Chain A
C-alpha cells in the first residue's frame, strides 16, 4: 500500500468554556489513501464538522486543537505557520462548506470570486485566470456563460456546483466536504454526488466527506467512519460497515431509515438522544442508548478493537482473554 495522503493521529479538539471545556473531538485517528473516498457519518453534535475544521486548520476560538497530528503528505499541518499553511490550503487541499450556497459572496460574480482565489495563490495572468475559471465550471457541468452570473441567479444545485468548481481550481489532492448536499432536493443531490464521483475518477483527488445521511455514504464512499459523541465508533470499508455492521450504534442507524423497497418493517430507531458532550456518559458513551448494554459498559471505556477489516469501539468485541469482569 502506498503512503497515505492524510494521516490523522490522536486528534483532539476542545471548546474552551468559562467553567468547563467541552471535548468535541476525542482522540480521532484514521488515514486516507490518495484517491480514496472516506465518508464520515454521525448525528448533530457528534463532532464531525469540528473534526473537519481541525483537519483543515480552520478552527477559531473557542475551539482549540489540544492534541494530535494531521500529517498531509508527511507534513504536520498542525505545526505549520499561517503563511506556509496558506500556500498549501486550497492549492493542495480545499474545503467545500456546508450550505455552500451561502458561502458565495452575493455581491460578486462567479468569475470575480474565482479570480480572487487564484490571485491570492499567485496566478496573475488575466487570461489564464479566465480560462481556468471556465474550465472548472465546465467540469462541474455549468455553462461558462455563468461566469458573469451572480450567486442569486443560480439555483441551489448550481451554487453548490460552483463551490465545488472553486475547490478544484488548483486540482488539489484532497477535497474536504462538509455536508455539501444536505440543503438540496433528492434529484439534485443524486446528480451532484454522481458528478463528484466522476470528477474524482477523472482527476484522482481524495475526498473526506461528512454527512448525517447514511444512504449517501453507502452509495458513494470507499470507506466509512461512524462518529458518536466525539469519538470514532466504527471505521471500515463501506461493504463491511453496511454489510455486517459491528457497533450497535451503526446497526441502529442503519435500521432507523425506512426503505422505499422491500417489505414495510416497523422501525425501532434508537431510544434516547445523543449525549451532551459537556457531561459525556461514563464508560462507553453509547451505553445509555445501547440495546446490547452490559453491566461493565457504564464503567469501562472501550478502545477501538480490530475485527476483520474494521475497527470498532465496543466492549462486545474485546478479546475474552482480557475479560476480567
Chain B
C-alpha cells in the first residue's frame, strides 16, 4: 500500500525552492494602511521530474504563487531559489531570459492567450527566435513541428498553419504547452490549464502533463482548484488556504490521510460521480479573511477543532509523517510507531 516514496529531505534533485515567499497587495488610497495578504511565508519545493499540485479555492493565493515564480509580481518578502541561485538577484537580461525560458507559464484561458490575427505558429516561432537565437529558420520550424507532435497536435504542419479561431479549446491549450515546450523548459507553471475546457477533453490535457514529466523530464507546478485532477497527475500536493500552505506531502498520503481540518473539509466536499453518497456538513464555504488577517490560524473561524492557541499564534508547518507537513496546532502526527515502520520499510 505504501508505494509512495517520501520526498527527499536534502537538496538533491531540488529544482526550485521558495523561502518564506510573501506577497501583500496594498488596498485603498495612498494613505490606506490596509493590505491583502495573498501569499504568506510560503516554503515550496519542486524537485526535478516532479509534478507538484497547488490546490486551493478562489482567493487562496495559488495564482499569485504562479505569478511570483514567473516574475510577474515582485515578492514583498522571501526568496525564490532556482538551481541554487536566487532568482530575485538576477539582473542581467540574459540571465532573466534564460530563467523565463526554463520556467515558462501556461495560462488558464487558451482563448485569450493567443493573438487572434496570427497563425498559431507565429507565437511558437517568435519564442524560439527570442530564446534560442542559435537556431536557423529551418531549424526553428523543425522544432515547432517537434513540439506540436509532442503535445498531440498532428499533423503538425497543418496545425501550425491554423489561426486560433480554427482550433477548439483543447487544441489551443495544447498550443500553449507546445509553446512552453519549445523553450526547453525545466519547470512549467500551469495555472488552471484545464478549468476552461470541456470535461471530455480535459483528460487529454492532463495526460500531456504526465507525459511531459515522464518523457521530457520536465517538472510541472500544477495550479488547480480541482483536487481530483491534482490526484490524477501530481506526485506531491500543497493545499493552500488564505495565503498559507496548510498541508503538503505525497499525493496519496495527503489525500488518504489528511491531517489539516481544511484538507479534510475540502475532500469531504468533492463530489465524485461514482461515489454518490451525500456528505453532511454545516460549513457554507464562506471565503477567508485575507485583508490584514493578523496573527492566528486563518481557518479558525470555520474550524471544528479550533482551540484558544489558534487565535493567538499562526501555526507553522509541522512534520506529520515522511515528507508530510501540516500547519495546524491540533493535528496529530502519524503515531511514532508507524513512523518507525515507515523508516525501516
Contact = CB atoms under 8 A, between A and B. Distances in A.
Interface in A260-286: 260-262, 264, 266-271, 273-274
Interface in B227-262: 227-229, 231-232, 255
B58 interface: yes
B190 to A, nearest CB: 16
A267 B284 contact: no
B304 interface: no
A214 interface: yes
A268 to B, nearest CB: 6
Nearest to B256: A261
B267 A260 contact: yes
Nearest to B262: A187
Given A186-B266, A187-B266, A260-B270, A155 B227 contact: no
B276 interface: yes
B140 to A, nearest CB: 29
Interface stretch (B22-30, B84-92, B117-125, B195-203): B195-203
A18 interface: no
A240 B227 CA distance: 27
A43 interface: yes
B285 A269 contact: no
Contact of A273 (B170, B229, B278): B170
Nearest to A269: B203
B243 to A, nearest CB: 15
A214 B225 CA distance: 17
Interface residues of A, number: 47
Interface string A185-196: 111111100100
A213 B232 contact: no
Interface string B280-307: 1111111100000000000000000000
Contact of A256 (B200, B267, B270): B200
Contact of B228 (A219, A257, A273): A257
Contacts of B267: 260
Interface string A121-153: 000000000000000000001000000000000
A253 interface: yes
B40 interface: no
Contacts of A67: none
Interface in B21-69: 57-58
Contacts of B206: 258, 267
B272 A259 contact: yes
A253 to B, nearest CB: 6
B274 A219 contact: no
Contacts of B201: 269-270, 273
A308 to B, nearest CB: 19
Residue of B57, B265, B270 with most chain A CB atoms under a 10 A cut-off = B270
A186 B170 contact: no
Residue of A213, A215, A268 with most chain B CB atoms under a 10 A cut-off = A215
Interface of B: 57-58, 168-171, 198-204, 206-207, 225, 227-229, 231-232, 255, 265-267, 269-276, 278-287
Interface of A: 43-44, 141, 155-158, 184-191, 194, 197, 212-216, 218-220, 238, 242, 252-254, 256-262, 264, 266-271, 273-274, 289
- 7 cross-chain pairs, A with B, having the tightest CB-CB distances, nearest first: A188-B285, A269-B203, A215-B271, A187-B285, A258-B232, A267-B203, A270-B200
